[in-house]
Structure 1
Amino acid sequence: MQRRFFLASMSAVALAASFPVQAATQDMAPLRIVVPFPPGGATDMVPRNMQDALSKLLGQPVIIENKAGAGGSIGMAEVARAVDGNTFGVATLSTHGVNPAVYKKLPYDAVKDFVGVSEVVKAPGVIVINPSVIPAKNFAELVAYLKANPGKVSYATPGNGTIGHMWGAQFIKSTGVQMVHIPYRGAGPAVNDVLGGQVPVYFDQVASSLPHVQSGKLRAIAVSWGERLAVLPEVPTYKEVGHPELNDPSWFGLVAPRSTSPEQIARVQKAVAQVLQDPAVKKRMDAQGLYVSGTSSAEFTQQIISEVGKMKTVAAAAHISIE
């Protein structure tokens, strides 16, 4: 453990030495990154993988706060209201694509209240089952089991209006099965109940359930990615099993309140881009089923606008609407 900590620290120092540290423009106050979901899920892993290196590059402390609830809406609403210039949020396809499409009332506007800083990673989705509850060994056997037990099997997601919810609804429509949705307050609690057998099927990013799949406690059935994943080489993509419409991955990025200065946004975006070049950061992300990307502020802002429109189409087709 000490050796791993030492190596991670040395990596962060080396990264900082490779790029000139930019002077802090906010009197060295901590840079706060709000994660709108509980600890333990993919949304939480993304900023924590970058935290130390980002702090050294920016020349100021970086703190991460989890503000969970309402499918990420509580945390993102807090980010939208911030006016200190040092508060950023982890945006996801759920918070900045699905939520605006499914919630009739949302305490923030995904487009008007934020400026995109950068997409950070893309994240393949996965459907996993508890093999002690459902004996299916593959996609075809799972679908056959669900069709033999219509409406008797529940599936877990990180919450109403999350991408897991959308993936579950799309799976049901694509396969013609019947399942009951059980929303949780984040990926961590959802995975815990799937491990316990209370809910046998789970839809979310690979990162949240990967350790449990690798340990054999959960069984991965299919992933939403362009090709098989190095971390799950035996698991087919949805396209391979005949459902290419389910093959789109998710993504995570950083956003800032609309009130944040362009100079501060550019400063953080540049630091994020540099962190994502660090081989140690990339290796940690890869091992967790997260794949670094990186974009400009303008590109990520436009991406959010496009995703909101796309998810509204998906939500309408799946008849998903939340009060």
Structure 2
Amino acid sequence: MPKNANRYSKPRNTPPGPPSPRSQPKPPSSSSSSPRSQPKPPSSSSSSPLSLQKKKDRDFFEGIEMIQHVRLCELWRADLAPPTDLERLEYDFIKACPCDQCLPKLERLDEFEKEIQTKLELVNAYRARINDKEDLCLSICTSAQWSKDIFWFLNKKLKKLSEKLGVPCPPVRSNSANLLENVDKTIVKMLQEVGLLGNSSTGEYDENDDDILRKLETGRWYYRNTAAKVESYLCLENIQNLEKDWKDQKIDQTLKLVKQIECVEKLPVKKLQIEVEVLISQIFPVEFHKMREEKARDLIFKTSYSCIKKRNEFWQGRWLRGDSHALLKATLRSLLEEVGLFEKQWNTVFAPVFENQD
């Protein structure tokens, strides 16, 4: 990436995560598994209470792990320790019971975990898509300024050369100069109005840099992701070829500069302005898109937290009361209700937005 590849910067909206451990009830210390494949709960006669500090340490690490599970929507598998033990073992809620009555419900919950993870990916992709379009707006803005700057750079070189040779300098074409200036100002103004740019900046264009090939490489960088890439690259290639012809003594320097200026005048800067207008219509106002994204993320994280909390409560109940099928049935019923509520709200409010992205 060339030096000063973008003259503007903008604040990045960081997607919010799930609630912090302070704002949530601490997850119950838990653990267990199916009667066949999971460790048996400790017997009350053989276990002794943990020291207060050890219990705090265990609860702290389990709380951190729970937050991580919420962020990743990992609902059913966890490393947990029973209330009277520090040893952490892996417990898989999906394997809690293999009976014909429970297994279909557990399989549905296993499917839901994959579904909610996919929905979180859609929300993340939505935010990335908005960020990419904001970045493209800034890149287009810089492309417009570069086009204006290279026009004046070549005209100044032509003027100096004419003065050195003692010949009249061809006049600057006012129509081209005005077009480049107006497009640059218009794009800056549009981005300022939607809050993507602050005060106008003159950038960091180095007028003392006399290396035209390096300037052309910078121009290619700015234009690389724009809708005007193909046309602009052709113009820049023609400028580069003229530079080569001059070095090979196939063309004199005055004619070279005149023709290079003509190539700059053909840069599709008006196309840059149109592209910015389209992008702005797609991604602004920013607050509207941010609000939709935050609400979708909030629904996903709250549902994940609720499922994980009920999962841990189930293991805690099994540790305290033993292998209770009634407890599992009640937990499954509650979890499937949670799934139903999530799907209803998602399909009504969020699916049309996040599942139909361009």
Q: Which of the two has greater strand per residue?
A: 1
Q: Which of the two has greater helix per residue?
A: 2
If the TM-score is normalised by the length of the shorter chain, which range does it land in? under 0.3
TM-score by length of 1: 0.25
Over alpha carbons, which structure has the higher Rg?
2
TM-score by length of 2: 0.23
